[in-house]
Amino acid sequence: GENVEQHPSTLSVQEGDSAVIKCTYSDSASNYFPWYKQELGKRPQLIIDIRSNVGEKKDQRIAVTLNKTAKHFSLHITETQPEDSAVYFCAASVGSTLGRLYFGRGTQLTVWP
């Protein structure tokens, strides 16, 4: 099956700085790459996603880039705020059932005021 690796496992930044989280995947047939944010004790929530036919997608302060050749994708958060502190998970899906996801192990992002 698919294998998704995520780095770093922890990331600390100063408020206002940028944060970048990187993921690689193994199955070249993967076609959907979402990112989920999970606050402590809460459920995961989708923050942004990208399809395999798109190289970059932005939504206000967050962006995702995809390099299909290298099989990696990244989450970029600009102008970080303390409320961005959470665990972020990347994921990949193969085939038509988009919710059938393979998740990375997560990145604990801490934004210091």
Partner 1 sequence: NAGVTQTPKFQVLKTGQSMTLQCAQDMNHNSMYWYRQDPGMGLRLIYYSASEGTTDKGEVPNGYNVSRLNKREFSLRLESAAPSQTSVYFCASSASSGGANGELFFGEGSRLTVL
Per the CB < 8 A criterion, the answer to whether 50 and 73 are in contact is yes
Q: Does 96 bind partner 1 (CB under 8 A)?
A: yes
Q: Does 89 bind partner 1 (CB under 8 A)?
A: yes
**One of 20, 52, 63, 103 touching partner 1 (CB under 8 A):** 103
Q: Segment 7-36, which members bind partner 1 (CB under 8 A)? A: 9, 32, 34, 36
* Candidates 12-20, 57-65, 66-74, 100-108; binding stretch for partner 1 (CB under 8 A): 100-108
**One of 14, 69, 97, 113 touching partner 1 (CB under 8 A):** 97
SS3 (DSSP) at 80:
coil
Answer positive or negative: Cα dihedral of 50, 54, 51, 66: negative
d(CA 13, CA 61): 15
Tokens of 30: 């993967």
